[in-house]
């Protein structure tokens, strides 16, 4: 993974994980005012404090629901991305309130593939290949990787990013019944159960294997977003590249090889053979018809539309 052309950003989340309703609230506000997050009325508009205003902005960008546009001042206006418009843009969108757990898997994919605002998420889920870790181990791994990539930051910044990343996926432990602090409110991605905290061993462990709540349409979308990075002019990609390579659906979703193969077999059916799993001389490969390979983004969105419209 090269970082020569990108500059990862740390701390924009203000140490808050995103909450239920934040992304929808942010996108609705952007629709009315592209500069809402720098507007003097932003606190009243969004109904949260100053740090949370900045955090909502960060998470809308980090999850790919919003993108910056060119402005005439230092403040950059935001706009909803095409994915956001289709997913949560209006009440008639696919899943405006994230009631489908497939949408949470989609957000996890978006976040871990955002090299600028989700850099630590990307490294933990795609570059760290051990099944478990403690905080000291993961921070050492990240510092080494970040130094090698030539990215400038501090140990304290890395530690804060790791804490926020872990809280994105680990349900909070409330010490006293009835007491809920601002930092103990769970992120929706905790529902995915992709990362677990083992109290007795004081380690974090990836839940590697089948993901029954991950829909084939969402897997298909992520596969099609991933393939352009590996396929070049080929029409085939090996199953191993879909399972083990950095940034692959297998890595990001912590799937085992059998699970990925099952998804690929299902994709043959739902794409009417446009994406097929073939085995030649003992090598399993994914084959793409030209109609897919010529426009990955359009076909990826079509996969998502098929998922949401069948519900």
What is the reported pLDDT for 2? 46
Q: Do 21-97 and 216-309 have matching folds?
A: yes
Mean of pLDDT values over 290-305: 86
CA 179 to chain centre: 30
What is the reported pLDDT for 279? 86
Percent of the chain with pLDDT over 70: 92
Do 248 and 240 form a contact (C-beta atoms < 8 A)? no
Name the pLDDT band for 294 (thresholds 50, 70, 90).
confident
Per CATH, the number for 216-309 is: 1.10.10.10
What is the reported pLDDT for 289? 84
Mean of pLDDT values over 284-300: 85
30-34, 93-97, 125-129, 278-282: which range is least confident on average?
A: 278-282
What is the reported pLDDT for 7? 86
181-190, 267-276, 284-293: which range is least confident on average?
A: 181-190
Do 33 and 45 form a contact (C-beta atoms < 8 A)? yes
- Whether 73 shows a pLDDT value over 80: the answer reads no
Name the pLDDT band for 47 (thresholds 50, 70, 90).
confident
CA 131 to chain centre: 19
What is the reported pLDDT for 176? 41
Q: Which residue, 160, 161, 166, is CA-closest to 190?
A: 166
**pLDDT (tens digit, 9 = 90+) per residue, 147-178?**
998 988 999 999 999 999 999 999 986 544 44
What is the reported pLDDT for 238? 93
What is the reported pLDDT for 231? 83
**pLDDT (tens digit, 9 = 90+) per residue, 210-260?**
999 999 999 999 999 999 888 876 788 999 999 999 999 999 999 999 999
Percent of the chain with pLDDT over 90: 71
Q: Which residue, 258, 243, 255, is CA-closest to 208?
A: 255
Entry pTM: 0.92
Architecture of domain 21-97: Orthogonal Bundle (1.10)
Q: How far is residue 97 from each of residues 23, 25, 92, 204, measured CA to CA in Å?
A: 9, 10, 11, 29
What is the reported pLDDT for 311? 67
123-127, 197-201, 256-260, 291-295: which range is least confident on average?
A: 291-295
Name the pLDDT band for 76 (thresholds 50, 70, 90).
confident
Do 11 and 54 form a contact (C-beta atoms < 8 A)? no
Q: Which residue, 207, 174, 172, 173, is CA-closest to 192?
A: 207
What does the domain layout of the chain look like in residue ranges?
A: 21-97, 99-207, 216-309
Average per-residue pLDDT in the chain? 90
- Which residue pairs, CB below 8 angstroms and at least 24 apart, start in 255-261? 255/208, 255/209, 255/210, 255/211, 255/214, 256/208, 256/209, 256/210, 258/210, 259/209, 259/210, 259/211
């Amino acid at each position: 993974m090269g970082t020569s052309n990108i500059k990862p950003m740390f701390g924009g989340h203000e140490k808050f994980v995103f909450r239920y309703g934040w992304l929808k609230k942010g996108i609705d506000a952007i629709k009315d005012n592209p500069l809402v997050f720098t507007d003097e009325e932003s606190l009243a508009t969004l109904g949260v404090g100053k740090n949370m205003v900045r955090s909502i902005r960060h998470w809308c960008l980090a999850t790919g629901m919003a993108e910056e546009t060119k402005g005439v001042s230092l403040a950059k206006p935001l706009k909803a991305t095409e994915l956001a418009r289709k997913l949560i843009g209006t009440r008639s969108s696919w899943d405006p309130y994230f009631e489908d757990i497939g949408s949470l898997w989609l957000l996890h994919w978006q976040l871990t593939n955002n090299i600028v605002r989700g850099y630590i998420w990307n490294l933990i889920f795609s570059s760290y290949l051990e099944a478990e870790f403690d905080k000291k181990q993961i921070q050492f791994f990240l510092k080494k990787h970040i130094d090698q990539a030539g990215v400038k930051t501090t140990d304290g910044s890395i530690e804060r990013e790791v804490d926020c990343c872990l809280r994105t996926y680990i349900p909070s432990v409330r010490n006293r019944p009835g007491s809920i602090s601002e930092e103990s409110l769970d992120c929706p991605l905790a529902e995915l159960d992709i990362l677990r905290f083992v109290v007795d061993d004081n380690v974090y462990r990836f839940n590697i294997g089948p993901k029954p709540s991950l829909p084939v349409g969402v897997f298909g979308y992520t596969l099609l977003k991933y393939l352009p990075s590996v396929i070049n002019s080929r029409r085939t990609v090996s199953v191993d590249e879909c399972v083990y390579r950095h940034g692959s659906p297998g890595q990001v979703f912590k799937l085992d090889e059998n699970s990925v193969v099952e998804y690929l077999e299902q994709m043959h059916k739902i794409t009417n053979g446009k994406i097929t799993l073939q085995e030649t001389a003992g090598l399993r490969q994914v084959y793409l018809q030209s109609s897919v390979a010529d426009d990955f983004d359009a076909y990826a969105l079509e996969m998502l539309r098929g998922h949401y419209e069948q519900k």
